[in-house]
Each structure stands twice: as structure tokens, then as C-alpha cells.
Amino acid sequence: MFNDKKDEAIRSTNDDAAQSRFSASSLGYFKDPYANAFVKRAIKRPPVINRGTYVRHTILNKMIRQFYNQHCNSKEKCNIQVVSFGAGSDTRFFQMKEEGFEFFKYFEIDFPEITIKKASVILKNKELTAHIGKYKFGNCEIVSEVYNLVSGDLRDFTHSVAPKLMRLGFSKSIPTIYVSECVLIYMEPKYSDKILRWVTSKEDILEQQVIFADSNDYSEENVEGEVIPQTELIANQFSDGSSSKAGEVKSNGDLSMEIAANVENSGFQNIIYLKGFDIIERATNINAAKDMVSDEITLMASNVSKTDYAKDSILSKKCDKNGTVVFFLTFEQILPGDKFGEVMLQNLHSRNIDIPGIFAYPDLISQQQRYRNFNFEMSHSIDMFTLFKDFVSSEEKSRLDKIEKLDEVEEWDLLSKHYCISWGSIGCDVRLQIE
């Protein structure tokens, strides 16, 4: 059983993120015309937090747009899908739609307690619903042709969430951006690793069973754009937090199953797919990428510099428009072992929040290695200190200083070195442009 009180504490971090985003955007650090829709009251964050929010928001958006531009000839005609894990009150979809970007599919996944609140805000806001178009609502979810707000527990991703994505039209044959902002780190690695393993697996589960939605589960928008009264909040159905054992079959209605068996010390993962009446078994060497691309991938040290990154041209790679294209982007805490890291963990623990993922992937090197372990061709990681120092122009830094003078320089240095952006890619290497 999962700990409901701990889950509730984790869900509360969404309110923190929404307040921080509104604080920074309202001061002019960046534009987010929809941030105010997701906060009940304004709370001004200190300059050091506003700067961190700026780096997180600006760099992630820059990288997502860079992937978009590398793959698409024009943003109006682009066959790309986005999967945002633990999206919370994130407004990226609505911002990009306002800028004219189009998607094949855009999925946001979170606890039903979060999605029901977000759905309520969206459906009451005409500016937000205008970007969705015709939609259906029910079971704490919004379903439309492109935008899909999906409820679920990511710890049960392969058995519960992934089949739902497939039913809503997700396809691994479409170039995909996966985004995780302080999400995977809240899970034990046995759960978060399953997501990465699924992302790089070659099988499209339920590929032959794609449907739009079940009309019995969703209420339709009427002519005036109003919505039939909301379905009551459904509680999490997951009663077993353990991973599947070898050969064990768990029922999930009529949906296909994924049964994973880990073979100790073999470097292989055997996966059995039950697809209709056909059994497909395959073995994947999860360490193969190390041998295949060892000459092409250069691990950046934790003190990565602008010069080193610029010279690392061997990592540059144009998008492969004819093959599988995957871009997985994470923003997480690192360095739990030093004094600042220990205090950071203590502060979180005082709120009943733990981040077990930080011990499995505690630094920049291990953050990159995580992607390589799951067959990503390219991987990079850069801490927030370096991102601001080397990837934000002097003109932009001057603009930020005019908004708010940062007096807590030492605090910023410590804080920013304990957060990082890391990413892995297949078929397309995304690299930040140095300003």
C-alpha cells in the first residue's frame, strides 16, 4: 500500500510550484499569462527562488522549442507529441498554443486529486478552453483531439497509465518529448526506472486498440461550451505497490498486460507482452547502449564549463525524421551528501516529503548514466548554477538585476548547484545554444 499522507504532501508541492511561477512571472522574469489562473492568492517569493524559477522555466522551454524546431519545418505543421509527467498546474501547453505551436497529442499526467482541480480551472476559463477545442470531461480527466489531462499514479505506469495513453492515441512512432519536473525523484527507482524502460521499449502496447474515449465515462461539451456536471472524484485504485514478479499476470480489464521479470546480474530484462491472444517475448540488453555509443557519448563532469560544452561537437546530431525520435527531459535535485543537501532533505522530511530518487541518481554523472542504462543514444546534464552562468546572456542578466537585486549570492550558488537539468535522446540530440 502507498502512504496516503505522503502522497498528499507530495501533491502539496504543486501549489508551491504554482505560487513560485506566478511570483516570478508577475514580476516580469518571464511571461506566463495563465499563471494567475492556478493560484488562489499571490505570494511573493524571495529573489533567490524567483531566479531559480526563471532558470527552470526558461531553459526547459528553450530546449522543448529547440527540439520542436529541429524536427519541424514549421510549428503549424508538426507531428510531435508531448507527455508531461506530474504536470500539476503547468501551463506550457496553453502558452505554446497561444504562440501558434501545434501538436499531434499533448498528455498531462498527475494524481486524480490534482487533475480534478486543474480540470475545474480550465473548464471555467474561456481563454484556456479555447486552446483545447471540442472536449469531453469525466473521471477527473479532460480528453480532446490533442490535449489530454490524464489521471493516474505513475508508480503503476505500465499497468495503468500507459494503456490509458495508448487508448487516447499515443504512439511511439511519433516523435515524443517526455518532461519530468521534480517528479521521478519522488518515486523509488523501481517505479521511475520502469517508466524509462517503457519509453525505450520497442513495443507499442495496445497499438491496435486505439480509441478516442468511452462516451459512458466522459461528458460532452454542449453547444454553448458548458459542461455536464462533473463526475465525482475517484480515489486511487492501486492497492499493491510491489512490482510484478516473473511470470505473474495481473488483470487490467480487457487491456493488454506487461509482465516484467528482472534477471539478477545478467544485464538483461525479459519482457513478456500479452497482446490479445498472442504472446511476444523479447530480451533487451539494457547495457548495450554503453558499447554501441561509448565512442560517441562524452560524460560531462560536475564542473562542466561553457568551453567544454561548446567543444563537445561530437554530440551534435540532427533529428532522424525516419526513425524513432525520443527526447526525455528532467529537472531534479542532486548532491544529497553535502551539508546543504542534508539540510535540503531535512526541510523536505519535516513536511513529510521524501525524494528517494536522489540517492539513486545523486550527481550529474549518474543522472546521465541513468539514460544510458535504458538505451538512450545521447545524454547530458548541467546544474542550474552553470545554466545561469553560461547559458543566460549578460544582457538578460542585466535585465533580471533591474527587476530584483539578488543579495543572497552565496545562497544562490549553493541552491543552484543542487538542482540540474538532464536529458536523454534517441534519434535526435538536443543541445542548448550558448549565449
Q: In what order do the strands lie in the sheet with 176-181?
A: 219-220, 135-138, 141-144, 147-151, 105-110, 81-85, 176-181, 326-333, 419-426, 378-383
Could you give the angle at which helices 409-416 and 47-71 cross, rounded to 10 degrees? 40
Helix segments in 259-383, DSSP class H: 288-293, 306-311, 339-349, 357-360, 364-373
Question: What single-letter amino acid sits at 83?
Answer: V
Q: What residues contact residue 139 under an 8 Å CB cut-off, 6+ apart?
A: 112, 151, 217, 218, 231, 234
Asked if 177 and 80 count as a contact pair (C-beta separation under 8 A), the reply is: yes
From the list 138, 333, 169, 334, the residue with the least C-alpha distance to 233 is: 138
400 labelled binding-site residue: no
SS percent in the chain: helix, strand, coil, step 5: 40, 20, 40
> Quick one: which of 22, 243, 52, 31 has its CA closest to 121?
22
Determine which helix (DSSP H) or strand (DSSP E) holds 79, and give its type and residue range. Answer: none
Helix (H) or strand (E) holding 251: none
Q: How far is CA 172 from the centre of its chain?
A: 16
Q: Does the annotation list 345 as a binding residue?
A: no
Cell matching residue 379: 545524454
Question: Residue for cell digits 503503476?
Answer: 156
Distance CA 111, CA 88 (A): 9
Closest C-alpha among 287, 261, 285 to residue 272 = 261
The CA distance from 8 to 172, in Å, is: 32
Q: Is 56 annotated as a binding residue?
A: yes
Binding-site positions for S-adenosyl-L-methionine = 56, 86, 153-154, 181
Binding-site positions = 56, 86, 153-154, 181
